[in-house]
Amino acid sequence: MFEYLTPQPNDAIMALMEACKADPNPKKIDLGVGVYKDAAGSTTIMRAVKKAEELWWHEEQTKTYVGTVGNAEFRRLMLDMMLGENNPVLARTASAQAAGGSGALRIGAEIIKSAAPDATVWVSRPTWANHIPLISSAGLKIDDYPYYNRETLGVDFDDMLHHLEQHAKAGDVVLLHGCCHNPTGADLSPEEWDRLAVFLTEQSLTPYIDLAYFGLGRGMVEDTYGLRKILAVCPEAILAASCSKNFALYRERVGLVAVICKDEDTAKIAQSQLGSIQRKIISMPPDHGAALVARILGDADLRKMWVEELDEMRNRMLGLRQLLSEALDVQGGEVMAAAVKDQNGMFSTLPISKAQAEKLRSDYSIYLTNSGRINIAGTNTSNIPRFAEALLAVL
C-alpha cells in the first residue's frame, strides 16, 4: 500500500533550521526558527525550570496517567495568569492541557469542526506557516484577510475589518495573534483591539486567539490586553496558548486550549468535548513540562525567578531591536529601521524577496525564511553590523 504515498515538501522553517545547522561557516547568522537565544547564541533551560525540575524530581511520586485534559493545576494557574484571577469568564471556560501550542491549535480546530463544520477560519495574511496545515487538516475551510502591509511594514487594520465585513459570514472564526504576531511582529494597538472586539461581536464572528509569545512582547500586562478585551466583549472565544517560548520548554510540548462559552452549562459540554477530542488524537498530553509550569506558577519564589528571567529575555530583544534599527537607519533602510523598533516579540518581516533571502543564505550564511521573517533573538551586538550591511547590499 505504501507505494501510493506521495512525497511531501519539507516544512520551510524546519528545513531552514537543518540547513543552518549543516553550514560550517563560523560567521553564520541563524535568524530562522523561533527559539530564544541568549547573547552567546545558546537556548538554555530557564533558571526557574531547572530549579523546578530538581524539586519535582524529589516530589513526584508516580508516573501513572493524569487524564485526557491533563494537569488541572496547570490549567487553573495558566488561565489565572493570562485572564486575571478574578475574571468572570473563568466560570464559563472549558480547558485542556495540550501538546504544545500546536496541539492546542489543533484541538481548537477540532472543536470548531464539531460545533460548526461549515465555518471558515480566517487567518491573517501572512500568518505562521503552520497555522494553515494544522487547522485545515481538521477538515475546516481556511481563507485569509489582509493584515501586513509590506510597504509600510505596519498593520492594514481598516482593510482587515473591511475585508472581513465583506467576505466573512456570521458563525465564521477569525484567528488572531494575541501578541507578537508571527511572522511580522506587527501587533494591533489597544484602540484597534477595542474596535475589533466590538466588530467581531456585531458581525457574529468567533475570535480564536493564538497566544504563543506571551511575556516576550512589551510586558505581561501589555501582551494580554487584546485577549482580555476580546473576552470582555465577545460572548464566545477560543484560546490556544503555548509555554514553548516563555518557559523555553520547546521540546516538552506544553500548551493549553481554552473554550470560552456563553454560559456555564455549555462550558461543561465543551469540557467533555475537549477530553474526547484529545483522546481520539493523542489520548493524553505529556505531563512533565506542564507539571513544571504548575510548580513554578504555584510557588512565589519560583514564579518571581521566572518573571525576572522572562523580563531579561524580553528586554534583551528590545535592546537588539533598538541596535538593529540604528544600523538600518541609513538611506534606503529608514522604513525597516522604524518598523523593527516598533514591532513586538521575536519576529519582524522585512520587505525582501525569496531571491534576496536565498542570496543572504548562499553569499553571507545568513538564515531567514524566504518570506523575509527574521528572529530578532538570533541577532547580537557583534553580528548586527554584518547583518545590516548584507541586508542593505542585497536590497
Q: Which residues pair with 124 in a beta bridge?
A: 145
What is the number of H-type helices and E-type strands within the chain? 14, 13
**DSSP, res 376:** G
CB of 255 to ligand LMR, least distance (A): 11
CB of 332 to ligand LMR, least distance (A): 28
CB of 191 to ligand LMR, least distance (A): 28
Indicate the residue among 97 and 244 with the shorter CB distance to ligand LMR: 244
CB of 182 to ligand LMR, least distance (A): 5
DSSP string, 30-93: E--S-----TTS--PPPHHHHHHHHHHHHH--------TT--HHHHHHHHHHHH-TT-GGGGGE
* Residue ranges in 83-102 that form contacts with ligand LMR under rule CB under 6 A: none
Indicate the residue among 213 and 306 with the shorter CB distance to ligand LMR: 213
Indicate the residue among 33 and 338 with the shorter CB distance to ligand LMR: 33
Distance of CA 281 to the CA centre of its chain: 22
CB of 20 to ligand LMR, least distance (A): 12
Indicate the residue among 133 and 190 with the shorter CB distance to ligand LMR: 133
Indicate the residue among 13 and 132 with the shorter CB distance to ligand LMR: 13
The letter for the amino acid at 134 is L
Which secondary-structure segment (H or E) carries 256?
strand 254-260
Indicate the residue among 43 and 381 with the shorter CB distance to ligand LMR: 43
- The C-alpha atoms of residue 26 and residue 284 are separated, in whole angstroms, by 42
- The C-alpha atoms of residue 163 and residue 123 are separated, in whole angstroms, by 12
Which secondary-structure segment (H or E) carries 161?
helix 157-167
**DSSP, res 150:** T
* Residue ranges in 120-139 that form contacts with ligand LMR under rule CB under 6 A: 128, 130
Count of residues that bind ligand LMR according to CB under 6 A:
6
Query: Going by C-beta distance under 8 Å and a sequence separation of 6 or more, which residues neighbour residue 234?
Result: 197, 200, 201, 206, 207
Annotated catalytic residues are 128, 210, 212, 245
- The C-alpha atoms of residue 347 and residue 345 are separated, in whole angstroms, by 6
Indicate the residue among 9 and 332 with the shorter CB distance to ligand LMR: 9
Closest to 82 measured CA to CA, from 278, 249, 222 = 222
Options 19, 23, 33, 392; binder of ligand LMR; rule CB under 6 A: 33
Q: Kindly state whether residue 182 participates in binding ligand LMR, applying the rule CB under 6 A.
A: yes
Report how far apart, in Å, the C-alpha atoms of 373 and of each of 30, 80, 234 are.
12, 32, 32
CB of 245 to ligand LMR, least distance (A): 8
Q: Residue count of the chain, please give it.
A: 395
C-alpha cell belonging to residue 128:
505562521
CB of 110 to ligand LMR, least distance (A): 19
Which residue's Cβ lies closest to ligand LMR? Answer: 34
The residues binding ligand LMR (CB under 6 A) are: 13, 33-34, 128, 130, 182
